[in-house]
Structure 1
Amino acid sequence: MKNSLYIILFCTFAICASSQNTTIISKDKQPVSYATISFGNGNGLFADDAGQFFFTKKLYKDIDTLYVSAIGFSDLKIATNNLPATIVMQTSINTLEEVFLNRPRGKFKLEKIKPKVHEDYYKCWLPTIESELAVYFPNNFTKTQRVSSLQIPIKVEAKNWDKRKRKTAKKRPFSTLFKVNFYQNNNGLPGDVLTYSNVVFIVNERSDKVLEVDITEHDIYVPKNGLFVSLQVLGYTDKKRKLLPNKKYQEIKTKRGIVKFPTTFRPLLPFTDQISEKRTFVKRVFLDGGQWVLFDKQNIEKSNLLLAGLNNYGLGLNIEVYKED
C-alpha cells in the first residue's frame, strides 16, 4: 500500500514539475472555477476551484491549441506555445433568466422522487472525464417548486474482487470530485443553464450508497416544462479536496497510430430498468460543442447497459412544493 502511494505521489510530482501551471481568472481577478479546457480533438481537462490547470507537452505533445470555456464567459482560443501563466476571461452577456426575484413565502410540502439503487456491478455506468450525464424531470405540479436536494445513487467497489459480495469487504479507496449542472428543457434536450453558481460534491469509498447533496442555497426552481439535472466528473482529489493533475487519458499503440482512451473514475453509477420512459441523456463534453443525445440504442453503439435494457440513471430529487405563490 505504501509503495502504491509513493508511486502516485511521484507521478503527480513529475507531472507538476514538467507542466505549465496556468490560472484562469475573470477581468475582476476572481478565479474562474472548473473551467473547461478542450484540446479540440475530443479530449480535454478541467480547472480546479482556484481556476488552475496543469498542461504539459510531455503528456499532450500533439496539442497546439486550447479552447477554454466556462458558463457566463466568452470562449477563448489559446496557443500552447508559450502558454501564459494567467488567462483572463471576459464576462459574456447575461442570458440567464431570473425566474424568481424573491424566495416564495408560505408553507411547502416536500415531494420525493426516490432514487433507483441496486448492488449489481455489471449494471452501472463508469464515468469518464469526457462524458456528462443528464436526467430529465418533468414538472408535475402547478405550484412553485424548488429543488432542495439531490439523491445520488452510487456503487463503490470491493478492494478484493473475490470478496465483493461480503458486506464487510474493504472498499477500493478513491476520492472523486463531481459537478452538478441544471438545464432548462429545450424541446426535449438540455438547454440553457439555470444557475451560474458552481455546485460540486466529493464521493469516496465511505459514502452512502445514496448520497444526498443539499442545494437549497442555489435556489433551483423547476420551470413549467421541467428541468435536466446532470452529473459531470471533474477528476480525483487529494486529501485537501483539490483536483489532482493526474493524466486523464491512456495511450495505446495500434496499427492506425496512437489511440487515446479516457481514464475511468470511481464510483460506478447504477442504471435501472424500473423507469418506463427514456429520460437519460449523454454528451461528449470536449467534442462537437457538446451535443446532447438520448441514451438509447439509436444513438449509442456497443453499450452493454443498453443491451441489457438499462436506459436510465436512477437519480432522485427532493422538491419543495409551495402551497402559496
Structure 2
Amino acid sequence: MKKIISLSLILKIFIVSAQEKEIKILNSENNKPISYANIKFLKSKKGTFSDDKGIFLINNNVTDSLLISVLGFEDKILSVSKIKDTIFLNTKIITLKEITLSNKKIEYGYFKKNGKFIRSALNRVIVAMYIPNENKKNEYITHLHYRIKKFGNELSTVRPHLLSVNKLTKNPNKEILNENIVIDINEKNKILSIDITDKNINFPKEGIFVALEWVGNTKNLGFGYSKLTDNNNSHYAVLTSLEFKKNIWVPLTPKKEDKTIAHFGITTKQSE
C-alpha cells in the first residue's frame, strides 16, 4: 500500500514538473541574470517576478503573452508559446549631460527622525514619500536615504525608486531613476544611503517621490515613520501592493486628519 501511495505521489510531482518550465532573464550585453524583473500576463492580468538569479517558472499550458519590464532595460512582450528557456533584455541607452556641482549639500526629508517602524507583511510592496522642492533652485539629487529596520536573521532585499509627481492627482507618476538597483539588507537598524550622483537627476521644482520596493523577503523588513507635525499636507507616505489588477496608490493612513510621514529623504547639490 505504501509503495502504491509513494508511486502515485511521484507521478503527481512528475506531471506538475512537466507542466512547468524554468525561464531565465538575461542582460543581452553580458549574459548576466536580471533579478526581480516584473512579469505581467497580458490577458489574465496576473503577475510574478524573477528571483535573484533571474529565474521564474511558467506553465506550458498557458496561452497568453508576457510583458517583462525592469528598470534600466527596454520592455519586452513575448507570446508564451514562443519562449524557450532564455529571454534577453536590451539595456536602455540614456545620454547624460555634463554638469558641475557645488560642494554645498542640502538635505530634504525625515530620514534622521526617531519614531516607530511599520513592519511589512505584504509581497512586492512599494512605499513612496513625497519630498517638496522648497528652494525651487536648480539642484541635482546626489543621495537617497531610507531609515529601515530588519527583523530576524533572514536576508531582505529592496529596490530604490524615484518617481515624478502627477500634476493632476499629485500621486507618484513616472520612474525617474531608470536603473535596476537591488540591495540586500543585512544590518538590523540602519539608514540606507545610496549614491546616485553619477545619474545627473535634477530635483524637479514640483518635488519628487522617494520610494522603496520590497522585492525579496518582505516579512522581515520595516521602515521608519511618524505622524506629521507641521501643517503641510503635501508631506505624506503612500503605499501600493503593486498588484497588476490594482496598481493604485493609497494613503498609508486612511484618516485624512492622521497624516503619516515615512522616514525617507534625499541630499542635493546645486549646479554651478
TM range (shorter): 0.7 to 0.9
Aligned to 1:23: 24
1:27/1:203 Cα in 2 relative to 1: closer, same or farther (>3 Å)? Answer: closer
Shift of 1:212: 2.7
For the 8 Å contact 2:24–2:56, the answer to whether it is kept is no
Counterpart AA for 1:273: K
1:315/1:88 Cα in 2 relative to 1: closer, same or farther (>3 Å)? Answer: same
Shift of 1:73: 2.0
Shift of 1:126: 0.7
CA distance in 2, matches of 1:195, 1:110: 19
For the 8 Å contact 1:42–1:286, the answer to whether it is kept is no
Shift of 1:137: 0.7
2:158 to 178, 191, 195: 178
Aligned to 2:173: 191
Matches within 5 A, 1:15-164: 20-25=21-26, 28=29, 30-31=31-32, 32-39=34-41, 44-48=47-51, 52-55=54-57, 65=64, 66-71=66-71, 72-79=73-80, 83-89=83-89, 101-115=97-111, 116-119=113-116, 124-157=118-151
Query: Mind listing any 5+ residue stretches in structure 2 that lack a counterpart?
Result: 1-12
Counterpart AA for 2:150: V
SS of 1:217 mapped into structure 2: helix
Q: Does 2:224 match 1:270?
A: yes
2:265 to 311, 316, 321: 316
Shift of 1:142: 3.2
For the 8 Å contact 1:69–1:75, the answer to whether it is kept is yes
Shift of 1:190: 1.6
CA distance in 1, matches of 2:236, 2:257: 17
SS of 2:162 mapped into structure 1: strand
Counterpart AA for 1:313: A
For the 8 Å contact 2:143–2:195, the answer to whether it is kept is yes
CA distance in 2, matches of 1:173, 1:149: 27
Moved more, 66-75 or 226-235: 66-75
For the 8 Å contact 2:110–2:262, the answer to whether it is kept is no
Moved more, 224-233 or 272-281: 272-281
For the 8 Å contact 1:146–1:222, the answer to whether it is kept is yes
SS of 2:215 mapped into structure 1: strand
Give the structure with the larger strand fraction.
2
For the 8 Å contact 1:197–1:218, the answer to whether it is kept is no
Matches within 5 A, 1:256-267: 264-267=218-221
Counterpart AA for 1:111: E
Post-superposition CA distance 1:281-320 (Å, at most 9, x none)? 22232323733334342xxxxxxxx699463322132x23
1:291/1:73 Cα in 2 relative to 1: closer, same or farther (>3 Å)? Answer: farther
CA distance in 1, matches of 2:239, 2:175: 16
1:153/1:63 Cα in 2 relative to 1: closer, same or farther (>3 Å)? Answer: farther
Shift of 1:174: 1.5
Q: TM-score, normalised by structure 2?
A: 0.72
Shift of 1:29: 6.2
Query: Mind listing any 5+ residue stretches in structure 1 that lack a counterpart?
Result: 1-13, 158-171, 237-263, 298-305
Shift of 1:101: 0.9
For the 8 Å contact 2:150–2:185, the answer to whether it is kept is no
Aligned to 1:200: 182
Aligned to 1:221: 202
For the 8 Å contact 1:126–1:265, the answer to whether it is kept is yes
**Consecutive aligned runs of 4 or more in structure 1 exceeding 4 Å deviation:** 26-33, 39-43, 61-66, 89-92
Q: Does 2:252 match 1:291?
A: no
SS of 1:142 mapped into structure 2: coil
Shift of 1:143: 2.6
CA distance in 2, matches of 1:87, 1:70: 13
Aligned to 2:4: none
Give aligned-pair identity as a percent: 20
Task: Count residues with an aligned counterpart.
Answer: 246
State the superposition RMSD in angstroms: 3.6
Counterpart AA for 2:86: T
